[in-house]
Structures are given as C-alpha cells and as structure tokens.
Amino acid sequence: MDKNKVGVIGSGQLANVMVARLIEAGQFVIVLNDKNISDKDIEVITSNNLSDIGNMCKIILTVMEDSTCLEDVLLGGRGIINSCRKDNIVIDMSPVSPEFIQEIAEKFIEMERYFLDAAVVDATCSSKKTAQMILIGGERSVYEKAYPLLQVLAHRVEHIGGHGASQFHRQAFAIRTAKSNK
C-alpha cells in the first residue's frame, strides 16, 4: 500500500486504535489536536486546524461522539467539506443514524467529494489493535479506492450497500447483541 497522509479527527478508544494501526502500517498520520496522541511520536503530527487536515490528507477518518459534533466537523463553516480536495476520501465511523449519514453524503455528492460511512463491529480489540470487521456504506468505486487503507484497520472489510448501510447494520447488530445479553 502506498504511504499516504491520513487524517484522523476524533477521540476515544476507536480513534486511538485506528491511529495505532495506521502507524503500524507505515502511514503518515495527522491527528486533529488529540490530547491522547503525542506529537513526539515521529509518525504523527497534530493540528489545531480542520483545513490543514482537509488540504494535506488523501484519506480522512472521523470518529465523533454524536451527530452535532459530526455535522460541525464535516459541514460547518470551517468543516472538512470546504477544505478537502475532490480526490480526498472522507470515511466516517461515528455512531449516528443512517438517515443522518445519508444527509451528509448528499452534501458531499453536491460538492463532488467522496464520502463513505463505516461501522466497526466488535471493536473490543484493544490488545490486538485491530477491529474484527468494518462494514462500509457508500459508492462501491470509492470503497475500492479506500480498500487498501481500510484493510489495515480490520481483519475483515466489506462493502454492504449505499450511504447509511453500515449504520443500519451497526444499529441492528447492537439490538441483536442487547437482546442476546438479556
């Protein structure tokens, strides 16, 4: 896989696992001002500016806590959609609704930008630093461009349909898991 600059915007265990995996795979990672990442690590630089990440990174991963944060980071006045190039790929892994993802995807399509949604299934993998499976929603041609990078993040990566499909499956998986734990 070619070494690209990969931006990571978000925090928490999933974002940290993704950063660690990317570094392990030899990628150059730029993280948006994450206190948990040390810029003393030669493979990671931090930035306080969304437009830096949009301008510098070929692929941008977002992991936000909710739809309000995600909307601000992606679509806000200084959001990624306004600074990324047409050939950039934004891959969102936030736990938001399929309908919200579809709204975001429509905005990216209007601006002629690439967008995928991703759901991590079985992220309880901190010791292995890889997710078990990532389900991807969005255009198949964009998925194929991002696949080499996605492959380093999980044991298994599958394209499962259009925008929002991964979030639909994530919700269904969560309901199934909750019912089986009762």
Share of the chain above pLDDT 90, in %: 47
Q: Which residues contact 50 (CB under 8 A, 6 or more apart)?
A: 9, 32, 73, 78, 79, 80, 83
Coil, strand or helix at 63: strand
Q: How confident is the model at residue 42 (pLDDT cuts 50, 70, 90)?
A: very low
**Which range has the worst mean pLDDT, 37-41, 53-57, 142-146?**
37-41
Contacting residues for 83 by C-beta, under 8 A, at least 6 apart:
50, 51, 53, 54, 55
Per-residue pLDDT, averaged over 17-45, amounts to: 71
pLDDT score, position 12: 81
Domains in the chain (CATH in brackets) are 5-180 (3.40.50.720)
Token digits of residue 44: 């990671």
pLDDT band at 40 (very low <50, low <70, confident <90, very high): very low
What pLDDT, in 10s, does the model give residues 153-169? 988 999 999 999 888 76
pLDDT at 127 (0 to 100): 47
Model confidence over 114-132: pLDDT tens digits? Answer: 999 999 876 554 445 556 8
- C-alpha–C-alpha distance, residues 106 and 108, integer Å: 5
